[in-house]
Structure 1
Amino acid sequence: MCGTHLLHLLSLLAELSSPLPTIAIFAKATCFNPIPPDDNTSFSGSFQTQAKDDTSLGKKKLELELSFPQEEFHFEGGSLRVWRRDVITFPDKQLDVSEIIFQEDGLLLPQYADADGISYVLQGTGKLGVVSLSESGLPQSSIRRVEQGDVLAIPKGAVFWWYNDGYGEHRIFCASDTSGGVNSGLYHQFTLAGARMDRFGGLLHGFGVEVLADAWNVDEDIVTRLLESQNGTTIVKSPRRIRLPDPRGIGVHSSHGGIEVKQTNFKISEFRYNLNREYPDLYVKRGGWKKGADESNLPVLRKVGMSALRVGLEPNAVEAPLYFSNANQIVYIIRGNGRIEVASNDGESILDKYVGAGTILAIPKFTPSIKVAGDGGLSFLTFLTSSRPLPSYLIGRNSFYEGIPTQVMAEAFDVDESTLLEVQEKRKVDELYSFLRQRHRCLQSRMSTALLQAEIMYIFAC
């Protein structure tokens, strides 16, 4: 197949990179046309990382499949789509993945969770409030506006609420690490308000009215009114627009001994980092761009233990094959279409799928993958289970091939050194360098093939 042949060829040429340090590699595939899904690539199958007896990966062979969410919940102010428990189970992590859709004036009721979480704003604007403990152990609160492209990190135990004060839907994609929760594999929310319900009810309903009245030092009828007035749960719809102060003028507040202290505004941005407004970490003309949020630019991710990466591929571009040695990946296709291939340690194909907007994939650590954009380009988000992920490319200056002598590589590929050196001699020192023009086969359908001309582009650090 097109991606497989390209991967093999790129591996052959990997160690011939320029002595300049490569940041990343993209490839331009001028005739790529991804195969549309058939019965074997539909979204109707279960989505899970399963293991079957095999000689690969410690006698276990991973299967990555795509599907719709396991569960969908509809509330007055929005909806929740959830992939739960064994849906995304890595050897060392159990993740709960969800998508929240707010309607206008939809309010996610104040709550905390037993899992560290990371979110990405797919659509719309809103306001997010977070109440967490400061280093002194006192609660501190912050409110900030969130918009498309924002990465937000909320540690477990922190109280948060979310409100759609914009016009139109407000969509959020989320992932939470449930490994250290109440029971691993299940996400538990503890809602501070809301109606009594079996699954999403407000936690205060678990206490006696008289006990709460004594704790608050109020009459029992007031407590009853607090508990019974709200008929909704999880995401309610406000009958009137909630007027919140401008987050740009708000500090983080905490109190001690009855004295309120207003802290500096930098705390507000600690939970938020925008991947759209900031300059990309990498840009390749005709190739694409990438931008990440990790513990270096969003410090709270160190506590959450996760990070996020946005990649935008131009039409028919290819991201160089890579793997992460310290992080599993949750890949969400935001827009466009293309093809994703995942290989096992014994050279077998684990996944070879046509993907489109809304597709979600789980790729375990150490497992290499390659992503090829279709004619409309490919934009995707990756959540990683490390706050400082370590990518390893299979080609380029940072590839491990670079540390292997040419003589060894020639023997490894069973080719003469002149074949490798011929390509090396054609290189030029250029910030954007095209070193390969080679025709490959490009599978247009299950029954026909076409020629593919690939153009590999490097970006070098100055």
Structure 2
Amino acid sequence: MAGEKGNVSLLGSLVLCLWLLCHESLAQTYLEQAPFRGAQRRLGDQSKCRLENLRAQDAHRRVESEAGVSEYWNNADQQFDCAGVAAVRHTIEPRGLLLPEFSNSPSLVYVVQGSGISGVVIPGCPETFHSFEQSQRRGRREDPHGEQSSREQHQKIRRFRQGDILALPAGVAHWWYNNGETPFIAVAIFDAANDANQLDRNPRRSFLAGRQQREGWQRERGAEEESSGGGNIFGGFDDEILSEALGVSREVVRKLKSENDKRGSIIRVERGLQLAAPRYEREAEREEQEDNGLEETLCNLRLDENIADPAKFDIYSRQGGHLTTLNSQKLPVLRLLRLSAERGHLRRNAIIAPLWHINAHSVIYAIRGTARVQISGAGQRPLFDGNLRRGQILVVPQGHAVVKQATEDEEFEWVAFKTNDNAMVSPLAGKTSVLRGIPIGVLSNSYRISEQEVRRIKFDRDDETLLLRARRASQ
């Protein structure tokens, strides 16, 4: 009997262990697949973050090229370093070409002004854009085997315009060209803390062409100086090996290395680019091109979305303004990047309800106007209390409440980049306020206020969601 009891006890222990292991495994799987996973990837460096003061920042470094300017924010600054992000703004003149490049971090690009075309080269995807050589005699040139010979083949070319968001996965080469008549301005946020970046928290842009200046982002203290200065990705290879690998002469190889090229990363195309690309007869046709989510291959995934189009507004208030969100449910490729965005507009004196981000940092770029912004800290003193004006960036850390109010003199527009593909917010005012979900008695006792005052807090803005029209509470 004692032996049987021992066997039963041992069997029970084994069953219990298996049960615990199973549940631990399921919990781990859930955590990996949950929408909060974007915050977990940054836990390793949170002990280094000591958020005490935040400030709205202008670009700290300006790099001039032949046909444009690149302006960098200091990513070693406390707020950028804790959020694990970096920012750059490109201004490209007409007929300006941003040379092909790629980064170790995924990024989102917002088109602030202008229009143009871009190419995103995804490895393994076919060259689906063709331009055939025309022959005066036979209509099309044929090779010795009788097959059509194409003059040009390349991957898909995308048009972009003001208000577009472009998603760029890590390590994917891309280029930009301004085929318009006015300067093109775009601001890009790089998520250096993303799982896709296997190096460190320093963003790196690698160029396929040109001779790059050493200027760029500010490196972390003690880190080596940016190594891209002085050449491009071909610069570290031997001429003979490249000549054999590419099947070209050494003279061509030396041109690929661009050792004497002083034009910078944005060059001027004197006669303009002649590319194989369709012409959109109607802009509406472009907007109708939708993807079907998981059934799409990476080659066919839509990489861009316009969030300035009034038809895309998620929240609209005639007195307050409008707000548009862009997440992976609307643009599935964002699941790969684990990034999302929003674009908002506040009328004079209007307010974005105080809120905090549940699962993401928010990087705000001011497009137009000025707003007063407050970010709450752990104590009574705010992390930030000041103005955010056009061209500046401010980082709102995860879990810190923020409120924005447009000034009396002008309206305010912004775009925010968020470090989760489905960023979630919890408002403190309006129809979706967290306070509305808490019983009156709990709030009354928590704040030591009357039930009548609690009802006013919960229901006074009952007809508004996030965008709060300007008004002054009666004393």
CA 1:410–1:72: 2 relative to 1, 3 Å:
same
| Greater RCO, 1 or 2 (C-alpha within 8 Å, sep 6+) | 1
Q: 2:304 aligns with which of 272, 289, 294?
A: 272
- Paired residue secondary structure (1:166): coil
Q: Pairwise mapping of residues 33-72 of structure 1 onto structure 2 (< 5 A)?
A: 60-72=50-62
Residue 390 in structure 1 maps to residue 432 in structure 2: no
Give the superposition deviation at 1:218. Answer: 3.0
Q: 2:253 aligns with which of 223, 226, 240?
A: 223
**How many equivalent residue pairs?**
369
**TM, length-normalised to structure 2:** 0.70
Decide whether the 8 Å contact of 2:169 with 2:336 is kept in 1.
yes
Q: 2:208 aligns with which of 161, 170, 192?
A: 192
Q: 1:120 aligns with which of 107, 110, 114?
A: 110
- Paired residue secondary structure (1:409): helix
* AA aligned opposite 1:156: A
Q: Which residue of 1 aligns with 2:270?
A: 239
Distance across 1 between alignment mates of 2:396 and 2:166: 22
Decide whether the 8 Å contact of 1:86 with 1:185 is kept in 2.
no
Give the superposition deviation at 1:110. Answer: 1.1
Distance across 2 between alignment mates of 1:88 and 1:439: 40
Distance across 1 between alignment mates of 2:59 and 2:261: 28
Distance across 2 between alignment mates of 1:247 and 1:73: 34
**TM, length-normalised to structure 1:** 0.72
RMSD: 3.3
Q: 1:411 aligns with which of 445, 448, 473?
A: 445
Residue 281 in structure 1 maps to residue 311 in structure 2: no
Once structures 1 and 2 are overlaid, which stretch shifts more, 428-437 or 268-277?
Answer: 428-437
Q: Which residue of 1 aligns with 2:119?
A: 129
Q: Which residue of 1 aligns with 2:400?
A: 367
Q: 1:313 aligns with which of 342, 346, 352?
A: 346
Q: Which residue of 2 aligns with 1:97?
A: 87
Decide whether the 8 Å contact of 1:98 with 1:173 is kept in 2.
yes
Decide whether the 8 Å contact of 1:145 with 1:247 is kept in 2.
no
Q: Which structure: greater helix fraction?
A: 2
- Paired residue secondary structure (1:349): coil
Distance across 1 between alignment mates of 2:308 and 2:392: 21
Per-residue CA deviation, residues 386-441 of structure 1 (Å, 9 max, x unaligned), is 1100111012343322232111211122122244447879898899999986236x
Decide whether the 8 Å contact of 1:196 with 1:205 is kept in 2.
no
Per-residue CA deviation, residues 101-134 of structure 1 (Å, 9 max, x unaligned), is 1011111111211111111000111111001135
* AA aligned opposite 2:332: P
* AA aligned opposite 2:169: P
Once structures 1 and 2 are overlaid, which stretch shifts more, 127-136 or 160-169?
Answer: 127-136
Distance across 1 between alignment mates of 2:158 and 2:98: 15
Q: Which residue of 2 aligns with 1:166?
A: 180
Decide whether the 8 Å contact of 2:324 with 2:342 is kept in 1.
yes
Give the superposition deviation at 1:140. Answer: 8.5
Larger radius of gyration: 2
Q: Pairwise mapping of residues 421-460 of structure 1 onto structure 2 (< 5 A)?
A: 421=455, 438-439=473-474
Decide whether the 8 Å contact of 2:95 with 2:177 is kept in 1.
yes
Decide whether the 8 Å contact of 1:324 with 1:365 is kept in 2.
yes
Q: Which residue of 1 aligns with 2:160?
A: 146
Q: Which structure: greater strand fraction?
A: 1
Decide whether the 8 Å contact of 1:153 with 1:272 is kept in 2.
yes
* AA aligned opposite 1:236: I
Distance across 2 between alignment mates of 1:144 and 1:88: 36
Residue 111 in structure 1 maps to residue 101 in structure 2: yes
Residue 204 in structure 1 maps to residue 234 in structure 2: yes
Percentage identity across paired residues of the two chains: 27
Q: Which 5+ residue runs of structure 1 have no aligned equivalent?
A: 1-56, 250-263, 441-462
Decide whether the 8 Å contact of 2:72 with 2:89 is kept in 1.
yes
Once structures 1 and 2 are overlaid, which stretch shifts more, 389-398 or 144-153?
Answer: 389-398
- Paired residue secondary structure (1:205): coil
Q: Which residue of 1 aligns with 2:72?
A: 82
